[in-house]
Homo-oligomer: A and B are copies of this chain.
Amino acid sequence: MARQFPEDGQRRVVIEGVYPAVEGGRYPVKRILSDVVECSCDLLSDGHDSLAGRMLFRRSGDHAWQSSPLVARGNDRWSATFHASEIGRWEITFEAWIDAYTTWRLGTQKKRDAGQDIQVELAMGERLLAQAASRTDGELSTLLSNAADATGDRLRSADARLDAAVCDDVVRAMALAPNLANVTRYDPVLSIVVDPPLARFSAWYELFPRSCGAHGKHGTLGDVVRRLDYVAHMGFDVLYVPPIHPIGYAFRKGPNNVLTAGPNDPGSPWAIGAKEGGHKAIHPDLGTLDDFRRLVREARARKIELALDIAFQVSPDHPYVREHPNWFFQRPDGTIQYAENPPKKYQDVYPFDFECEDWRGLWAELLDVFLFWVGEGVRVFRVDNPHTKSLRFWQWCIDEIKAVHPEVIFLAEAFTRPNLMYALAKRGFSQSYTYFTWRDTKAEFEAYLCELTEPGISDFYRPNFWPNTPDILPEHLQHGGRPMFVLRLLLAATLSSNYGIYGPAFELMEHVARAGSEEYIDNEKFQLRSWDLDRDDSLREVITRVNAIRRGNPAFQQARQLTFHRTSSDALLCFSKRAEDNVVLVVANMDVYRAHSGFVYLDLGALGIHERESFQVHDLMSDARYHWNGSRNPISLDPQRSPVSVFVVRKKIRSEHDFEYYQ
């Protein structure tokens, strides 16, 4: 009976458990420019032979692979790193093989040490070296060929012959001349998206341009330029503005979301499109494309990226409705289906029909909206409700943009079920909104951050924590007063490397909601607001300090490593972060209505502190310094002064002159 055999039957090494890989490699992993990317796998083979392997890596699109040798980490685990030296998509895979030379070398040395005869072994060594010489050329081949001759030279002693075969030069040379006849290559290739640093570490400030005007007048892009120094001084690096396009008139909403707008009501910026244009146009009251270009330029001069809000929905007045009625769902009566969540109707907005016949035309146009604004200098997009548009569209659209503009960053504004939020991140969103806004207790934060920082999630999902948004004034901010605002700010800014606030509502502690809701009263979504930025009680200086602390401490600039520490009270949340030498420790009083004193029980190992070492903790908020010792240390937090201590942890260093100081 003729048997079928696999092609790779002689390959004795198998490669398993590859890392990093999202869903077994179906989706790319995310990393940041300049990361040293650690990749690992299990190498397994029968018997006791020595194995060797390498990680292969390349920029996507390159033909040639670069390689880095795999190093054994114990228990069959091997790892290697590569330097993510350019943004864009990279590919990695693994190769491994039986290392016959090392197997022979270690075995023969043991036999020699045990006093056994090694004549036959030396002949085997000669053969291995000669084969390696014939696989190579130039100096390497000469070296190996000479080593083969010396190993086979029966006029020399066995010891001298073995030494010739196993000296350091030869070991190094043999590592360069592996026998790859039966190499195992891992399949499939794994993808890694390397983003600019802003994707991992960013502080966002959201404002409504139309509320930036003086004396209650409709603000302009020029007014936003004049607001830039205010934003830059606080230390933000992304300025995010709601949609800046013409706003529809049909079914326009009035203040506080009433169904009929007055003649002077500006409408919601998310009801996009009017006769003046759609997603590629600028609302005439805001200014011109030239004004826009100037805003992008002036912001960048202050190290601020302008983030546009892309909301793929249209008002009934949008030009698309006339030009491409086939992109929308047609009702049997010939009308276009408006948005609804029965029995609620949102007649001011038409959704696109991603199952329409002309889906390719629709996709191409939506992609073109992004590319238009990228062409005008935009590098950051906040995408409105991406979970109500096709997941396959996002994967394609983001891939298409990043293939040409790998520096572009996308924030997914999806407040929906966890699996769907993760599914969007897997398909390319660089950052994602989270449930931070509704997490209240210590237990909730510990559980949530453990989830977000586990590698299976943090490899593709980058959280962006928001204490408030124009859509959400959470209940705790309605009632907690200034201490609660400070608490939520500091939790967002220290738990997550990406965070943002909706201002000036946040720094001015706007806290009145429409009755029974988590919606701001007199919401800027439906009307202009005028803000007194210079109010004495503004949180502006607290925010400035927090952002400075984040910039000064690399531990706050990553979201993948975080350790919670035990405390004596459910009111006291304690966590630390580390980035090489920089160690920060945050203790928060979660109960802003009263002072709490107690103890933290530190996991000293997580802080890099030895058991009996004393250390300094320096509260970067109050500038107080404490000398701590061992695991158990006292803490006292009065929310009226500050609900949170943000410590940098400094080890004691003993100088050569026996003078002690803190690093």
Within 8 A of B (CB), among A106-149: 106-108, 110-111, 113-114, 116, 119-120, 123-124, 126-127
The listed residue (B123, B360, B417) touching A9 by CB distance below 8 A is B360
Most buried by B among A26, A390, A417: A390
Contacts of A332 in B (CB 8 A): 120, 123-124, 126-127
Within 8 A of B (CB), among A1-50: 3, 5-6, 8-12, 14, 16-17, 23-26, 42, 44-48
Q: CB distance B107 to A391 under 8 Å?
A: no
The listed residue (B3, B76, B389) touching A367 by CB distance below 8 A is B3
Q: CB distance B388 to A47 under 8 Å?
A: yes
Contacts of A24 in B (CB 8 A): 23-26
Given contacts A333-B120, A333-B123, contact A46 B396 (CB under 8 A): no
Contacts of A182 in B (CB 8 A): 355
Contacts of A341 in B (CB 8 A): 48
Contacts of A335 in B (CB 8 A): 120
Identify the closest chain B residue to A389 (Cβ): B46
Q: CB distance A11 to B108 under 8 Å?
A: no
- How many copies altogether? 2
Contacts of A48 in B (CB 8 A): 341, 388
Q: A432 to chain B: closest CB distance in Å? A: 15
Q: How many chain A residues touch the partner (CB < 8 A)? A: 69
A342 touches B (CB below 8 Å) = yes
How many Å lie between the Cα of A387 and that of B355 in the bound state?
A: 53
Q: CB distance A9 to B423 under 8 Å?
A: no
Q: CB distance A9 to B419 under 8 Å?
A: no
Q: CB distance B12 to A419 under 8 Å?
A: no
Within 8 A of B (CB), among A443-490: none
Given contacts A3-B360, A24-B23, contact A14 B108 (CB under 8 A): no
Q: CB distance A9 to B396 under 8 Å?
A: yes
How many Å lie between the Cα of A124 and that of B329 in the bound state?
A: 11
How many Å lie between the Cα of A557 and that of B418 in the bound state?
A: 37
Cβ contacts A91-114/B at 8 Å (1 or 0 each)? 000000010000000111011011
A264 touches B (CB below 8 Å) = no
A63 touches B (CB below 8 Å) = no
Q: CB distance A355 to B98 under 8 Å?
A: yes
A328 touches B (CB below 8 Å) = no
A75 touches B (CB below 8 Å) = yes
A537 touches B (CB below 8 Å) = no
Within 8 A of B (CB), among A341-369: 341-343, 351, 354-355, 359-360, 363-364, 367
Q: A568 to chain B: closest CB distance in Å? A: 25
The listed residue (B25, B26, B75, B392) touching A8 by CB distance below 8 A is B392
How many Å lie between the Cα of A363 and that of B9 in the bound state?
A: 9
How many Å lie between the Cα of A114 and that of B343 in the bound state?
A: 7
Within 8 A of B (CB), among A276-334: 331-333
Q: A459 to chain B: closest CB distance in Å? A: 15
Identify the closest chain B residue to A351 (Cβ): B47
Known contacts A16-B23, A17-B23, A123-B331; 20 additional CB pairs below 8 A are A3-B363, A3-B364, A5-B360, A9-B393, A10-B354, A10-B359, A11-B392, A14-B391, A14-B392, A23-B24, A44-B423, A45-B391, A46-B390, A75-B418, A98-B355, A111-B343, A114-B342, A116-B343, A119-B333, A120-B335
- CB-CB nearest 10 A-B residue pairs: A24-B24, A123-B332, A114-B343, A107-B342, A110-B342, A76-B419, A47-B388, A44-B423, A110-B343, A120-B333
Instruction: Give 9 CB contacts A-B under 8 Å.
Output: A5-B396, A9-B363, A10-B354, A24-B25, A42-B419, A44-B423, A46-B388, A107-B340, A123-B332
